[in-house]
């Protein structure tokens, strides 16, 4: 029996489905952690989290088991014991497990019991729930391994405490949401006090489709004191020192407190990390986007530059007869400030060609939305042509306010591969643009000074699809619209409840609810984008398209 332990916590990125790559990354970290007794890596580190329906594929399960076997065998090399997340099939059912391996042998396997099945999570669809887990005695110390959601609820930690656990080590795959770091701190500090046990909470970092994982791993002692706060948004290996005190209780002696990104930097970091991993892992040489001189495309371009570097971002201004000179100069100045390639490709010839093509079919009809939307669609055709020719992915620039009410052209400006603003309301877009013009935190690849001219932030938003068009002709001002949408979408309030909270007239709120519900068909066809809040369009909020229900007339 030992009175001291060195536990290495490896906050790592992962690549879903890359069994060989993830295993290799674990072994590299294990070599770096050679002074430790035990190395813990995040939830499902071998397969990547969340593996989604890959788990329903027998070949994936077979290959995961084979990769796990090779990883266990590789611990015959000198180094710490390794606790890693994998999938194990028992009597035909797949379980989300932690495998503890040392000296080339599997010592222990424990299964996740609490399967999150809300919001973006669908774990009951793919995994079976394990029994109440056992503790494992490692070098004479009883250790419990609650796996992510196991730690969010009472049952598993209390059971492990009852079974005599002395330390809790919890691997996690916990996606970022605004203010979630504070929630986790409170919850897990409380869990440590409730069980009286010291606990290490280890989360993954990086982007996976719509999810951004912030890391922000922590260690608490049994009195609830937060003793270790690891970095957010970055990989980190930390060797923590643990000792058994005179009272027989284990404590973590390491003291290390990283400062987490404050608001709104946290949101911006989520966008950067999610886009970077999406673009790099899907093999794109860079991104391209329509740069209109407006705030959405300017901010999207800034995020892309901060994620990928200026040489990987390409802005294209595609003026029509309605494009103001100030829009052209603002777009050019945004590109100059960001140091990105900027091309000007007028769509006028294509608009004329469509006018000619449709003249007979449209005879006797006044110009209307059809002609307006043709412009947005011709820009899409242009961007997709460049994407096909050069391989860059088209970045979609729509924000959550527009996506809520359907203020975007289907197969036009909605086209693209990924969106960084999809879960950011327009008021957040303004706030982030102002913030980024004054700050360039460490690690971002863009310029330290301004990233867009002030005029882009201060001028009234316009789609410029017809003369003198302003967003406010069709929608209430964004500082009134966004609280209405936040109530309807993020908090699922009824029209009456939103009216009571915002003081807005019933007719306006009911109209916004109508637009919101009617635009579901557009959102279903929209590209993925990074989740920032508790109710993103996509995985969190799944509404029927064909839907007769309204909360307010
Ligand atoms: N339930 C349903 N299921 C499947 N498809 C459905 C549908 N309802 C309509 N549709 C289809 O959708 C079409 C209507 O959608 P769509 O063609 O997009 O056209 P629509 O939504 O009528 O127009 C786009 C609106 O977005 C504004 N806009 C455009 C571009 C940029 C911005 C901006 O500020 O960023 C704003 C523009 O000014 C206009 O108000 C219909 O013609 C029909 O084909
Ligand atoms: N003249 C243009 N040149 C290039 N791209 C354009 C142009 N007009 C629109 N776009 C593209 O279509 C998207 C929707 O733009 P639009 O101007 O209609 O509305 P917006 O929501 O105000 O966006 P932005 O704030 O970027 O202008 C833009 O973000 C941009 O990517
Ligand atoms: N992987 C998990 O079990 C995640 C669920 C958990 N409640 C979270 O957000 O962090």
Characterize the bridge pairing of strands 199-203 and 93-102: unpaired
Mean pLDDT in residue range 23-33 = 98
Domain assignment of residue 196, yes or no? yes
| C-alpha–C-alpha distance, residues 448 and 200, integer Å | 36
Q: Which atom of ligand 1 is nearest to the CA of 461?
A: 34
Domain boundary, last residue among 463, 498, 521: 463
Provide the pLDDT confidence category of residue 465 given band limits of 50, 70 and 90: confident
**CB neighbour list of residue 454: distance below 8 Å, 6 or more residues apart:** 437
- For residue 394, report the distance from its CA to the centre of ligand 3, in Å: 31
In this structure, what token pair is assigned to residue 455? 């005029």
Query: In this structure, what CATH number is given to the domain that contains residue 285?
Result: 3.40.50.620
Domain count, the chain: 2
174 lines ligand 3 (CB under 6 A): yes
Query: In this structure, what CATH number is given to the domain that contains residue 174?
Result: 3.60.110.10
Q: How far is CA 179 from CA 176, 235, 354, 440, 477, in A?
A: 9, 21, 49, 21, 26
Domain assignment of residue 497, yes or no? no
The bound ligand whose nearest atom lies closest to the alpha carbon of 216 is 3
Same domain, 100 and 212: yes
Mean pLDDT in residue range 181-205 = 98
Q: Which residues are part of the catalytic machinery?
A: 43, 112, 148
Same domain, 276 and 407: yes
Domain assignment of residue 125, yes or no? yes
| DSSP assignment letter at 269 | H
Same domain, 277 and 174: no
Same domain, 53 and 199: yes
- For residue 520, report the distance from its CA to the centre of ligand 1, in Å: 11
| C-alpha–C-alpha distance, residues 272 and 281, integer Å | 14
Q: What is the 3-state secondary structure (H, E, C) of 56-81?
A: HCHHHHHHHHHHHHHHHHHCCCCCCE
Same domain, 178 and 154: yes
Same domain, 378 and 297: yes
Same domain, 85 and 123: yes
149 lines ligand 3 (CB under 6 A): yes
Is 35 in contact with 228 (CB distance < 8 Å)?
no
In this structure, what token pair is assigned to residue 121? 């999570």
Same domain, 382 and 282: yes
pLDDT tens across 484-512, in order? 999 999 999 999 999 999 999 999 999 99
Mean of per-residue pLDDT scores for the chain:
97
Same domain, 208 and 249: yes
Same domain, 242 and 380: no
Domain boundary, last residue among 433, 463, 493: 463
Same domain, 203 and 65: yes
426 lines ligand 2 (CB under 6 A): no
In this structure, what token pair is assigned to residue 220? 């608490």
294 lines ligand 2 (CB under 6 A): yes
Mean pLDDT in residue range 97-105 = 98
Q: Which atom of ligand 3 is nearest to the CA of 123?
A: 3
Characterize the bridge pairing of strands 93-102 and 81-90: antiparallel
Domain boundary, last residue among 463, 486, 503: 463
pLDDT tens across 315-324, in order? 999 999 999 9
Characterize the bridge pairing of strands 341-344 and 250-252: unpaired
Reported residue count of the chain is 553
Q: What are phi and psi of 302, to 5 degrees?
A: -65, -45
Characterize the bridge pairing of strands 250-252 and 236-244: antiparallel
- For residue 460, report the distance from its CA to the centre of ligand 2, in Å: 13
Mean pLDDT in residue range 205-220 = 98
Share of the chain above pLDDT 70, in %: 100
Say whether pLDDT at 553 is over 80: no
**Can you list the alpha helix ranges (DSSP code H) found in 406-504?**
426-438, 454-458, 471-474, 478-485, 495-502
- pLDDT score for 463: 84
Domain assignment of residue 532, yes or no? no
Domain assignment of residue 550, yes or no? no
- For residue 202, report the distance from its CA to the centre of ligand 2, in Å: 41
User: Where is pLDDT greater, at 56 or 550?
Assistant: 56
Total-model pTM: 0.96
148 lines ligand 3 (CB under 6 A): yes
The bound ligand whose nearest atom lies closest to the alpha carbon of 518 is 1
* Boundaries of domain holding 29: 4-254
Same domain, 120 and 51: yes
In this structure, what token pair is assigned to residue 198? 């010291």
């Amino acid at each position: 029996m030992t009175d001291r332990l060195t536990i290495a916590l490896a906050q790592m990125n992962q690549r879903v489905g890359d069994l060989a790559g993830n295993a290799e990354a674990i072994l590299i970290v294990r070599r770096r952690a050679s002074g430790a007794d035990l190395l813990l890596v995040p939830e499902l580190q071998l397969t990547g989290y969340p593996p989604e329906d890959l788990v329903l594929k027998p070949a994936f399960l077979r290959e995961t088991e084979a990769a796990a076997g090779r990883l266990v065998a590789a611990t015959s090399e000198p180094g710490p014991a390794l606790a890693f997340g994998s999938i194990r099939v028992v009597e035909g059912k797949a379980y989300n497990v932690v495998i503890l391996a040392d000296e080339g042998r599997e010592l222990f396997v424990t299964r996740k019991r609490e399967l999150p099945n809300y919001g973006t999570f669908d774990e009951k669809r793919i995994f079976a729930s394990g029994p109440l887990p056992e503790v494992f005695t490692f070098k004479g110390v009883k250790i419990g391994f609650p796996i992510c959601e196991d730690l969010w609820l009472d049952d598993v930690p209390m059971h492990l405490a009852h079974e005599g656990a002395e330390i809790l080590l919890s691997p996690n795959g916990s996606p970022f949401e605004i203010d979630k770091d504070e929630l986790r701190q409170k919850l897990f500090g409380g869990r440590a006090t409730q069980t009286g046990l010291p606990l290490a909470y280890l989360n993954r970092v990086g982007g996976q489709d719509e999810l951004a994982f912030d890391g922000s791993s922590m260690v608490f002692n049994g009195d609830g004191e937060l003793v270790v706060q690891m970095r957010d948004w970055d990989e980190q290996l930390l060797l923590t020192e643990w000792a058994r005190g005179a009272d027989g209780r284990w404590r973590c002696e390491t003291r290390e407190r990283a400062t987490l990104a404050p608001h709104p930097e946290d949101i911006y970091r989520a966008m950067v990390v999610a886009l970077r991993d999406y673009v790099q892992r899907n093999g794109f040489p860079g991104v391209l986007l329509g740069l209109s001189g407006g705030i959405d495309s300017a901010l999207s371009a800034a995020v892309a530059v901060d994620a990928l570097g200026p040489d990987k971002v390409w802005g294209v201004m595609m003026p029509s007869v309605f494009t103001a000179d100030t829009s052209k100069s603002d777009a050019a100045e945004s590109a100059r400030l960001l140091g990105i390639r900027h091309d000007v490709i007028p769509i006028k010839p294509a608009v004329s060609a469509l006018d000619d093509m449709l003249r007979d079919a449209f005879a006797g009809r006044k110009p209307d939305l059809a002609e307006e939307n043709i412009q947005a669609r011709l820009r899409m055709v242009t961007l997709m042509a460049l994407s096909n020719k050069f391989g860059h992915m088209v970045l979609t620039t729509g924000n959550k306010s527009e996506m809520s009410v359907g203020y975007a052209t289907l197969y036009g400006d909605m086209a693209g591969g990924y969106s960084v603003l999809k879960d950011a309301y327009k008021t957040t877009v303004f706030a982030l643009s102002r913030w980024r013009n004054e700050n360039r935190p460490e690690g971002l690849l863009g310029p330290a000074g301004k990233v867009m001219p002030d005029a882009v932030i201060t001028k009234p938003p316009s789609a410029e699809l017809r003369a003198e068009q302003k967003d406010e002709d069709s929608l209430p001002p964004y500082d009134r619209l966004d609280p209405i949408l936040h109530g309807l979408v993020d908090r699922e309030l009824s029209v009456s409840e939103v009216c009571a909270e915002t003081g807005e007239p019933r007719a306006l709120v009911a109209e916004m609810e109508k637009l919101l519900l009617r635009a579901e068909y557009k959102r279903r066809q929209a590209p993925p984008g990074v989740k920032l809040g508790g109710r993103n369009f996509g995985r969190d909020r799944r509404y029927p398209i064909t839907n007769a229900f309204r909360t307010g007339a």
